[in-house]
Amino acid sequence: MTRQASVAVVGAGSWGTTVASMVARRTPTTIWARRPEVAEEIASEHTNEAYLPDRVLDPGLRATAALDEAVGEADVVVMAVPSHGFREVLEQAAPHLRPWIPVISLSKGLERGTRARMTQVISEVLPGHPAGVLAGPNLAREILDGYAAAALVAMPDLRVAAALQEIFRSTLFRVYTGTDVCGAEIAGALKNVFAIAAGMAAGLGTGDNTLALVISRCLAELTRLGVAMGGKRHTFAGLAGMGDLLATCMSPQSRNRRVGLELARGRSLEEVTGEMTMVAEGVRTSRVVMELAAEHGVEVPIAHEVHMVINEGRTPEEAFRGLMRRRPTTELAAG
């Protein structure tokens, strides 16, 4: 009889907890929570009220606040830590990991300072470990509520991706495989910035036509920059690209959309983010996107306006007027 793979999920935010609960239905799974009281709640009450209120988790999911206990015997490690703390937690886990096991990122951000993707961080901290990403239009609460969803698991080796596909998939959670790790990660990081733009548009009272315009042009910018950075064009038209962008730009559950929405209503960034229990990655990524666009010579006017609002004091109204003054070129060109 083949032994079931043991999975460790590092990070007990909404998405990490959701993935851990899903995987626990198929294979032994342990989740690590930084706070002991959260680990105790997951283990004993099968809930995580701080991040997933009124949702029940799989009773087979184990939880601990001891990182070595979570990852020490794991066959697969899933990193669900926000980008700003990703490297630190991974370095703490590194001495306890078994050799060569795959490490999968759920984080949708870029490391500030280095501008590294999370799989690049994994490769630096854990050389020799296969590094990949799980990405797609995945709103945690809907998945726990039983709505159908899908994601892409991208690994450099398609055979490893296929093995992980069996761990993550369920009847209502379809998992597709691919090898474009770079494209999937870039799409996941950049779409958060564009979701802030969509939120600002909604907060300014624009109509559905305007929102469709904004999202379409966001996808064009995301694709241009993503391809320039090494991603494959088809990835940006798929689940990790357009799929995730649509969900994050349109859903009231989106933290980044909420940031844009509240800014357009006249609230300060400090007020909005101060009320949030989870990180809105687009706030941190907005400046990084501009650095990458400059480095690769790619024009990203919508991302530029988001950056100006987040980091330079421009109002959403000024940003919107600035975009509408731009003269359109051909549809596939910048602008």
Do the beta carbons of residue 310 and residue 286 sit within 8 Å? yes
Distance CA 267, CA 219 (A): 27
3-state secondary structure at position 139? coil
The answer to whether residue 232 is catalytic is no
Token digits of residue 137: 């239009």
Q: Which residue carries 């809907």 as its tokens?
A: 142
Distance (Å, rounded) from C-alpha 185 to C-alpha 111?
A: 12
Catalytic choice (87, 108, 169, 191):
191
Put residue 271 in one of left, alpha, beta given phi > 0 → left and psi -120 to 50 → alpha.
alpha
The dihedral over CA atoms of 310, 312, 313, 315, expressed in degrees to the nearest 10, equals -70
Beta-carbon contacts of 297 under 8 Å, excluding residues fewer than 6 positions away, are 228
What would the DSSP string read from start to end of 124-164?
HHSTTS-EEEEESS--HHHHHTT--EEEEEE-SSHHHHHHH
| CB 134 within 8 Å of CB 152 | yes
Strands 103-105, 76-79: pairing kind = parallel
Residues known to be catalytic: 191
